[in-house]
Structure 1
Amino acid sequence: MATPAGYKHILDNLTTAVLVLSPGLHVRYLNPAAESLLETSLTRIQDTPVLNLFVDSAQALETLHAAASNGQSYTKREAELTLTSGVHFVVDYSVSPMGAEPPELLLEVQPRDRLLRISREEDIISQQETTRILVRGMAHEIKNPLGGIRGAAQLLDRELADDSQKEYTRVIIDEADRLRSLVDRMLGPNRAMRMAPTNIHEVLERVRTLLEAESRGRVSFQRDYDPSLPDLNGDKEQLIQAFLNIARNAMEAAFEHTEARHDDEPPLITFRTRALRQFTIGSRRYRLVCRVDVIDNGPGIPPELLQNIFYPMISGRANGTGLGLSITQSIVGQHHGLVECESEPGCTNFIIFLPLEEAP
């Protein structure tokens, strides 16, 4: 039979956050998983009201009051909780009375953010693959007749003696070449990846140097790097192109926004890198992942475009082609990574996850 010490050992090794509350809803016990989730320690909050841990907690944890008053077990799904530190997360939690009257309460908390994020990422990866298949099929159907049109225009050009008439055939040839080039860009890089140990900070510094030259000092750059990041296995030139597409879009959108509103706030692009441990990308779990944030202070992406910005030919700018982010997504996907975007007016953040180990 397990002893009380044995039960505590079991609770301390659970990945589910467990709290024991007094009938007056004061904290009596936290296991390590709860300490990690709530960003506190048992020593610090023991015998303090549990409702002090959360902002707007009276409504969010209403089931605690119900369980304490009538002795019934309750479960709440996808409850939104905000810690006093400002951290926001979504959880499922169950409250179970235990012991004699008045009962203590056993509170089990299961974070949902990670599960929801994994589900969303699997959907994104599935959409990426569907998009690639669609684009490849469309490219095949377009390039075949384009070749015939161009060939016929070349034959006709040779037969015509009048130079004024040849101008029309040359327009046909030039436009066919332009369409073929557009289709090739939709397909993304047309060469195999050349994988080698790559320092992500060298990639970002190259992007920064290129954009500083293009902007002629009109854009400010801020760097927040984690120097402990190891090299990743990647194609350096392709990664430069992927990050350049994101940062250039941010720069051009900021310029358009500044000119339209005569805003005095200069465009600012921030590059931030962090290491994430035991992180899941899609359905794969990696021991170490590099997270790169490319943040700008531009106008933001309209909500109606945000869910579709990685599709080809979707652009929020008047002179945009809508291919840059699609190509970026393709390159990052070939590195077994993922691109996400969060945007609101004044802050757009493209988040790139790249594994720092071989795919399992």
Structure 2
Amino acid sequence: MDAILMLAQGLLVGFSVLGIVAADPAGIWRHLATLAVALLGTAVLSRVNPEYLVRIARALFVLWLLLLLWVLFEGTGPGSQQEARRWIAIGGLYFQPSEFMKVILVLYLASFFERRGTDYPIIGPVLAIGLAAGMIGAETDLGTAIFLLSLSLFILVIIGVPLRRLLAIGLLVLILTVSVHGIFQHDRFQHLYVRIDAWRVLNQDTLLGRWLRFDPDLLEKLGSKDPDYARLVHDALLQPRRARLIMKAAGPLGHGPGAGLPYQLPQRNNDFIFATITYATGWFGAAMLILAYALVFARGLQIATRSSGAVSVVALGLTGYLTLQALMNIAVTTAVVPVTGISLPMISSGGSGLLAAGIAFGILHAISARVLKPEVAR
């Protein structure tokens, strides 16, 4: 296994444990068990030939499309949000196919461009990206759908797909995504507009000090006359506002994992765990966490450049998955972008997300063992 990737992954696992201890001490044993499964996934995939994964990528992609379709009809949602169907219940376990689609789409695109080249008619990538993003968006998981589109664009640009192909792919993917999204739309997407308006209001300096109470001027600032909608926006403001205040109160060295957060933060162990870790370890600890992801990015790009063909695309795509998703999560926590529901890879709680990240690391380890082994031997 790659020593540098092991170091970076080990740092992320350490921050994950620390974050859960600070956020949800009662859930630490369950989280440790989930991390153990994720690390087992890393160990297993590190022994698999990545070229074999590329060969079976189309079959995996079709299987996962069927699972996403199953979620739309038979899936379940978080808590009371039953309209947000994202999980498949298998016995007492909950499985989220969209998390694994991030890895499988990378494998599929690598397989396609190895067989067809970068200047081939575009129907394959259009169907792959559009159907995957459309079905996930129809689950009301628009954050993951947007991330898949962004990850795909990252891969296509880096591998050198001609501009005319990029424009055609982008246009057709947008049409297909919106079409699939619209088939399943049943007034379930109001929360997306609420989050966007909450982000817009959050970044108005005049409101930053009012997070504890309902703002009577909110209707005017939203340009809305609906008090119920204003109340929804107010509620959506609480979490990102509190995350910002928590990180501001962290100080350079933090308060330790046992200090407890100064404000209630419902998603403190998942989407907003970066704020929890920052409060526990301080701004210095937050910088170390970002550096761990930077290490993954640098080593992943090195592995990709030393590889060739589809395997190089896989290394590039998985590096993008792990680091671009981390960047998006941190941007949400710091209120740079609206809330998306994207977790912090290899850190946030949640079995599917942790296992998918563990698998991505395992494949990177497997590629590294094949392309960097001579370098290690010297």
TM-score by length of 1: 0.23
Q: Which has the greater radius of gyration?
A: 1
What TM-score do the two structures reach when normalised by structure 2?
0.22
The structure, 1 or 2, with the larger RCO (C-alpha pairs under 8 Å, 6+ apart) is 2
Name the structure with the higher strand share.
Answer: 1
